Amino acid sequence: MNVRPFTWLALSYFGYYCAYGVLVPFLPVWLKSQNYGTELIGAVIASSYLFRFLGGIFFPSRVKRANQILSALRLLAWANVFVITAMAFVSESFWLIFIAIAVFSMVNAAGMPLTDSMATTWQRQIRLDYGKARLIGSAAFVVGVTVFGSLIGAIGEQYIISILIGLFGLYAVLQMVPPQPKPADEDKNSAKSAVGFGELLKKPTHLRLIIAAMLIQGSHAGYYVYSVIYWTNRGIAVETTSLLWGLGVIAEILLFFFSGRLFRNWSVNAIFYLSAAAAALRWGAFSYTDALWQIALLQCLHSLTFAALHYAMVRYIGMQPQNAMVRLQSLYSGLASCASVALLTALAGIIYPISSHWVFLVMMICALIALFVIPRKPTNA
């Protein structure tokens, strides 16, 4: 049964982000349940983002044409299932679990830049509304973090890996649904003329936007790795932490839904400025409050610190020539969502045992630096 591109993207985003909603906040918790310490967890998660960077760059760069994306996604999806299943059997050995997480991170990271490349191709091909398709992924993240977070609180942290195996299995099955029309190249010679990574980074606007995205996305590192541990150490139940994560993603969903209208007259760099300022405010305030209602308010800023930036970058990539889009998407995903998060996660792992307060102040400083990197000239192409 063939489905429309919007439906295919909705299913793909739902499957991936439902699993991701459990993976990001609860993989560190599962590692803790396997008797690993916070410093070791920080090191493992930081290295996983480095491997996500390598996988996010390597696998998409092997895809030369738009009609190859779907096959690559299906292969990677089933590799996710195989490797995360292996993780369940090697948890008692640090080096084996390290290797398993590294391999999983590489194959898992390639899924989103390739799916977003499908979306940007369909944006040009059939004028697909990216924001409304992407919000399905955000909604799925809420399902993952709240529904399964509550389930984890009820049945125990040792079952986190079993839940992840089932969810990534669902994602792999959903990838097998065939879309119609399939993504197609505008120019049959686009694969031969694909722009290299080095050539892309020589363009000042590309480089400055990617560096700014690295600083803003990277500033989420302390939150991604330590927020659940940070909150539970202050007496907040695991079930409540999942609701706090869910609240942030609900705010993200609302922004994606209204993004077309909200940012119709905004330049790309103006949205970047908004995101950087919101991130500085969020992490600076985060480090000073333990009150649940204040944390809940700060979680709403996720709509600006993550969603607005992601929307702006995808919009910018969609404006570029097709022979540059897949690799520019890979650079953004690999550098901003993986490499910078890896570096700042490692830094957070050093700082957290000394002062959890300073972890978030360092994240605030990263967001402030981004304000000076964003191109000042309005960027729309």
State pLDDT tens for residues 228-238: 788 888 788 87
How much is the pLDDT for 2? Answer: 84
C-alpha distances out from residue 30 to 122, 162, 170, Å: 38, 11, 21
Instruction: Give dist(CA 135, CA 17) in Å, integer.
Output: 10
For residue 378, name the pLDDT band (cuts at 50, 70, 90): low
In this structure, how many other beta carbons lie within 10 angstroms of the beta carbon of residue 102? 18
Length of the chain, please? 381
For the chain, where are the alpha helices, taking DSSP H only?
Answer: 5-33, 38-61, 69-89, 94-109, 111-126, 130-142, 148-155, 160-175, 197-201, 204-218, 221-232, 238-262, 268-286, 292-299, 302, 309-318, 322-331, 340-351, 356-373
* Buried/exposed code over 264-284 (b: 16+ C-beta within 10 A; e: otherwise): eebbbbbbbbbbbbbbbbbbb
Q: Which amino acid is at 285?
A: A
3-state SS string over 300-330? Answer: CCHHHHHHHHHHHHHHHHHCCCHHHHHHHHH
Q: Considering the entire predicted model, what is its pTM?
A: 0.76
pLDDT digits (tens, 9 = 90+) for 129-188: 788 888 888 888 888 888 888 888 889 888 999 999 999 999 999 999 999 888 887 665
pLDDT in tens, 300-336: 999 999 999 999 998 898 888 877 777 888 889 888 8
Amino acid at position 177, single letter: V
CA distances from 168 to 171, 173, 252, 277, 349 (A): 5, 9, 22, 35, 27
User: 209 or 42, which is more confident?
Assistant: 209
- Of 333 and 9, more confident: 9
For residue 3, the cross-strand partners are 179
Task: Compare 352 and 211 and report the one with higher pLDDT.
Answer: 211
pLDDT tens for each residue of 274-302: 999 999 999 999 878 878 888 999 999 99
Whether residue 193 is predicted with pLDDT greater than 80 in this model: the reply is no
Three-state DSSP string of 313-375: HHHHHHCCCHHHHHHHHHHHHHHHHHHHHHHHHHHHHHHCCCCHHHHHHHHHHHHHHHHHHCC
**Alpha-carbon span 346 to 221, nearest angstrom:** 9
Average pLDDT over residues 243-257: 87
